[in-house]
Structure 1
Amino acid sequence: MLRLDHVAAGYGGSQVLFDLSLEVGPGEVVTLLGRNGMGKTTTVRAIMGLLPSVGGRIWGGEVRIDGAVVSGLPPHRVAQRGLGLVPEGRQVFQTLTVEENLLATAAHRGPGAPRWTLEAVYAVFPRLRERRANPGAKLSGGEQQMVAIGRALMTNPRLLILDEATEGLAPLIRAEIWSVLAGLKAEGQAILLIDKNLSAVLRLADRHTVIEKGRTVWTGTSAALEAAPEIRDTHLHL
């Protein structure tokens, strides 16, 4: 579904990604792991077309969705290929209510009835139903993260991308988010996930891609990563 081949990218004259490759297949949960500053968020921005670019494209390599090159497409065109983004920092619309935040991104591009509607999101996150009339600025960090996930789901994505899914959240909220992601996986939702909670991602994900200084240095299953302490010690600071 999603494939990055030897992608190079950066900001202005500063290169961040040098040789990054990863792929996510239909129904897979794949993580992008690495220490802070290694290029994880830059990778997400490269996928979504959110990087400053030379000639309208990433510097090198290719981003493909369903085999078609999307490098250089504007973000809304990338999203229309079926990608839903939960960005780092949540970025909810502060002056819009919970319900307005969710409706702002609602889209359905497939046949039949959409999987994700307001009622479906409220069923997953009952707290949002209770806060549906509250503006984004009046929500807790955990509630804002629920809105950000619900907003991405309202696009009815084929691939859901989460950048720092549980960073800075209280333990109970983190547990709720992991439960929701496990439910999405059980439904066959493809997910690309960035998070520092290694024990949680090892339980959830099918495969992992580890990056160091903008390069892919390791990929493998959860079982393989658990059996590779040298990878965790060297590249994940555990």
Structure 2
Amino acid sequence: MLRIEGLEAAYGESRILFGIDFDVEAGEVVTLLGRNGMGKTTTVRSIFGLLKPTGGRVMVDGEDVTGKEPHLIARGGLGLVPEGRQIFPTLTVEENLVATHRASATSHWDLPAVYRLFPRLKERRRNHGDQISGGEQQMLAVGRALMTNPRLVVLDEATEGLAPLIREEIWTCLAAIKNEGAAILVIDKNVEALSRFADRHVVIEKGRVAWTGTTEELRASPDVKDRFLHV
């Protein structure tokens, strides 16, 4: 569904990505792993057109969307849960969700579906975005992305700064999203939790793909964690 070919990106004169290659198939969960500052968020920004790539291609279902406007890329079936959540603080929880709803003939995600996935959001539906906890804001960010009815959900730092119980709730919900048939590309530091439901892993080191493999291969390769993931 998503194919990244030789992706290059820079901030001014500072090159960050040096030919990133990976793909995400329909219904698959792929993680993007690596230490801070290795290029993971830059990769996501380049995929969504928030940063114009300087080289390579971003393909969605065989269509080249490299450098297109973010709203056009999103309409191609990609939903983003950005780093820092970036919810609308002056809108209610329900208004945040409705604001991004995009229906289609094959739509699955609507308010009742999101509320079933995150009952706490239904309880807080009349609260403004800045009146709910960080964990609830992350649930809202995920729900807001789902309301676009994407075929691929991309999460940048899915559980950063969240309490352990909230992290587990997010992991459970991501597994449920996978079971509904959506593909997922997720960035997070909790490798063991990710490995419970992820199919493949892509490790980025200094703007390049340093390793890729299945969950079984990652578990069998402790040297990968030691070399590329541990601080």
- The bucket for the TM-score relative to the shorter chain is over 0.9
Matched, 1:225 2:221: no
CA distance in 2, matches of 1:90, 1:72: 23
- By how many angstroms is 1:172 displaced? 1.1
Give how far 1:237 is off: 0.9
Partner amino acid for 1:68?
A: E
More deviation, 152-161/6-15 = 6-15
**1:10 maps onto 2:10 in alignment:** yes
| Equivalent position amino acid for 1:164 in 2 | E
Shift of 1:19: 1.5
State the distance in 2 between where 1:237 and 1:169 align.
Answer: 20
Question: Which residue number corresponds to residue 39 of structure 1?
Answer: 39
Distance 1:209 1:108 in 2: 32
Q: Deviations over 1:210-237 (max 9, x none)?
A: 0100001111000001111111110001
Bigger mean CA deviation after superposition, 93-102 or 9-18: 9-18
* Structure 1: gaps of 5 or more residues: none
- Residues 70-85 of structure 1 aligned to structure 2 (within 5 Å): 70-85=65-80
Name the amino acid aligned to 2:119.
Answer: P
Q: Provide the secondary structure at the position in 1 that maps to 2:196.
A: helix
Counterpart of 1:128 in 2: which secondary structure? Answer: helix
Q: Distance in 2 between matches of 1:48 and 1:22?
A: 15
Q: Following the alignment from structure 1 to structure 2, what is the Cα–Cα distance between the partners of residues 186 and 123?
A: 14
Match status 1:155 vs 2:148: yes
Give yes or no for contact 2:46–2:67 (8 Å, CA) kept in 1.
no
- Number of matched residues? 231
C-alpha separation in 1, matches of 2:12 and 2:129: 32
- AA at the equivalent of 1:30: V
The whole-number CA distance in structure 2 between the counterparts of 1:25 and 1:174 is 25
1:120 and 2:138 aligned: no
How far apart, in 1, do the equivalents of 2:182 and 2:2 lie?
13
User: Which of residues 171, 181, 202 is equivalent to 1:178?
Assistant: 171
Q: Structure 1 vs Structure 2: percent identity of aligned residues?
A: 63
Specify the code of the residue in structure 2 equivalent to 1:20: I
SS, match of residue 226 in structure 2:
helix
- The structural deviation recorded for 1:145 is 0.2
The alignment partner of 1:133 has SS state of: coil
Alignment RMSD: 0.9
Q: Which secondary structure does the structure 2 equivalent of 1:204 belong to?
A: coil
| One-letter amino acid matched to 1:227 | A
Q: Please point out which of 64, 83, 98 is paired with 2:59.
A: 64
Deviations 1:44-100 (A, max 9, x none): 00000001x3xxxx1111110011110020000000000000000000101000000
Contact preservation (8 Å) 2:4, 2:57: yes
Shift of 1:185: 1.3
- For the residue of structure 1 that corresponds to 2:59, the secondary structure is strand
Q: How does 1:83-232 map to 2 (within 5 A)?
A: 83-109=78-104, 111-112=105-106, 114-232=107-225
SS in 2 for 1:96: coil
SS in 2 for 1:205: coil
TM superposition score normalised by structure 2: 0.98
Shift of 1:204: 1.2
SS in 2 for 1:32: strand
Gaps of 5+ in 2: none
Deviation at residue 184 of structure 1 after TM alignment? 1.2
In structure 1, the residue matched to 2:48 is 48
Residue 130 of structure 1: how far off its partner (Å)? 0.8
Shift of 1:128: 0.6
